[in-house]
Amino acid sequence: MLFKISLFGLAPSGVCRSLTNYLTGGGLLHRRFALTFKKEGGLFSVALSLKSLLKLKKDPAGRYPALYFRGARTFLKRASLLRSRDDSSSYDSYAKLGERGSKKNIYFTKAYKIFYNYLSLNMGRKVRMWAVKLLNKAFCIIYRALGTMAFLLLVTFITGCMDMDSKSPDVFVFLTNIDDTIIQSVRYHTGENFLGRQVRGYKTNRIICTRKAALQLKKAHDHFKNHGYKLVVYDGYRPQVAVDEFREWGSDLNDVRAKDFYYPTLEKKDLFEGGYVPQKTSMHSRGSAFDLTLIKMGNTIHSIRYSKRTLKNGDEIPFLDDGTVDMGASFDLFHAISHHDHDLLEPHHLQMRRFLKETMENFGFKSYPQEWWHYHLEDEPFPDTYFNFIVED
């Protein structure tokens, strides 16, 4: 559906260009909302389109964007500004000038006729000329005001979208604000991770997530506490800049400082192909995913103690003990043993993994087959949005 608002009046020819620049900000347009000012001999028409998209073109001189709607000529009629230097005050003489052709570039519409006839019938010549000048200035102010307001609205909208990347939306919370009894150990804030250094975007040792996910995690935590365990969360919301750093790290084949601790049997390319490390986007960036495990009530997190263990098939893997429940493989170990229900698991390890998984699923979370520690809220509030604001206090 197409709506049109036409403002007819007398104004200097430069107003249209100024107004277009005000409005477009040098050609910057929001595709769903557009106000256009079309110049026809100095008269302006303002059109608001809620359906048709604008085609951005340059005027014949290539000086500024000229905006046209599809079929615009069907409703934007040519109009006229009294630009002739002829001082004749009669309508007939101006009509004759218009009939001569393009020398004076004068075209008349019903709107102008009505306006001019009104002045002719109700005002004397001097008063009429004074009124024309006054209206001329008035319309200049109106057009500039309209253009400025539209431009400011556009800027406000754009900066609002940009703020989504730079500031935490209101629906995100620190996990401690919902449940401060959940233990947090943000590995990517430290060097205890597969990069071997602090990850870009992690400026605090606190977990942030959507409020909805935090409330559900609290319910799961209350259940675990009733069984003598507490949750330990390693990661929550992950900004997109962190995912980008993972990809950059993957392309640097010489950086293998943490290989022995996190991916001893795999090459870097295998981490991406195997689904252990995200290539472009991560579920964590949607704000409702967690990397977590359990710890017995009364125990505390301690510095990582490194050891090795041998699996049933003879593979030797590192084990990074931080005081949490032994799940058969430590957090972020990129190996088949980290898969849920793997046949190399000892019975007591499998039992603890199933206890964690079944409880999390009962409270609305979904597991990830390749990583026993990863869970995301199934009914998450932002299933298609990947945020990039920085985690900080």
Q: pLDDT (tens digit, 9 = 90+) per residue, 143-163?
A: 677 777 777 777 665 555 444
**145 vs 90, higher pLDDT:** 145
Residue 393 lies in a domain: no
Determine contact, residues 240/285, Cβ cutoff 8 Å.
Answer: yes
Residue 364 lies in a domain: yes
pLDDT above 80 (res 277): yes
Residue 385 lies in a domain: no
pLDDT above 90 (res 304): yes
**H runs (alpha helix) in 87-124:** 91-99, 110-122
Res 116: pLDDT? 56
Q: Return phi, psi of residue 181, to 5°.
A: -95, -10
**Of 141, 166, 191, which closes a domain?**
166
Total domains, the chain: 2
Pairing of strands 229-235, 183-184: parallel
Residue 389 lies in a domain: no
Res 261: pLDDT? 95
Residue 244 lies in a domain: yes
Q: Are residues 195 and 224 in the same domain?
A: yes
Res 162: pLDDT? 45
Residue 44 lies in a domain: yes
> Could you read off the pLDDT of 24-34 as tens digits, one per residue?
433 333 333 33
Domain at 323, CATH number: 3.30.1380.10
**CA pair distance 182, 189, nearest whole angstrom:** 17
Question: In the predicted model, what is the mean pLDDT of residues 325-339?
Answer: 95
Q: Are residues 185 and 126 in the same domain?
A: no
Residue 263 lies in a domain: yes
Q: Return phi, psi of residue 87, to 5°.
A: -90, 5
Q: Which of 99, 267, 346, 371 is catalytic?
A: 371
Residue 322 Cα distances to 187, 235, 353, angstroms? 11, 15, 17
pLDDT above 70 (res 60): no
Q: Are residues 76 and 156 in the same domain?
A: yes
pLDDT above 90 (res 360): yes
Beta strands in the chain, from DSSP E residues, in sequence order: 2-5, 34-40, 43-49, 55-58, 65-68, 172-174, 183-184, 208-210, 229-235, 289-296, 305-310, 316-321, 365-368, 371-377
Q: Are residues 304 and 359 in the same domain?
A: yes
> Could you read off the pLDDT of 160-173 as tens digits, one per residue?
544 444 455 679 99
Residue 120 lies in a domain: yes
Q: Are residues 234 and 124 in the same domain?
A: no
Res 138: pLDDT? 72
Q: Are residues 159 and 250 in the same domain?
A: no
Question: In the predicted model, what is the mean pLDDT of residues 166-184?
Answer: 86
Res 243: pLDDT? 94
Q: Are residues 364 and 282 in the same domain?
A: yes
**Of 133, 166, 199, which closes a domain?**
166
**CA pair distance 10, 14, nearest whole angstrom:** 12
- In sequence order, what are the residues at sequence separation of 6 or more whose Cβ sits closer than 8 angstroms to the Cβ of residue 242? 188, 199, 200, 201, 202, 282
Q: Are residues 320 and 347 in the same domain?
A: yes
3-class SS shares of the chain: helix, strand, coil, % to 5 = 35, 20, 45
Q: Are residues 185 and 153 in the same domain?
A: no
**81 vs 135, higher pLDDT:** 135
Res 170: pLDDT? 72
Q: Are residues 185 and 131 in the same domain?
A: no
Res 272: pLDDT? 85
Residue 326 Cα distances to 74, 319, 348, 373, angstroms? 75, 9, 9, 12
User: Which domain does 84 fall in, by range?
Assistant: 2-166
**CA pair distance 331, 126, nearest whole angstrom:** 88
**358 belongs to the catalytic site:** no
Give just the sign of the alpha carbon dihedral 29, 31, 36, 38. Answer: positive
**Of 166, 182, 197, which closes a domain?**
166
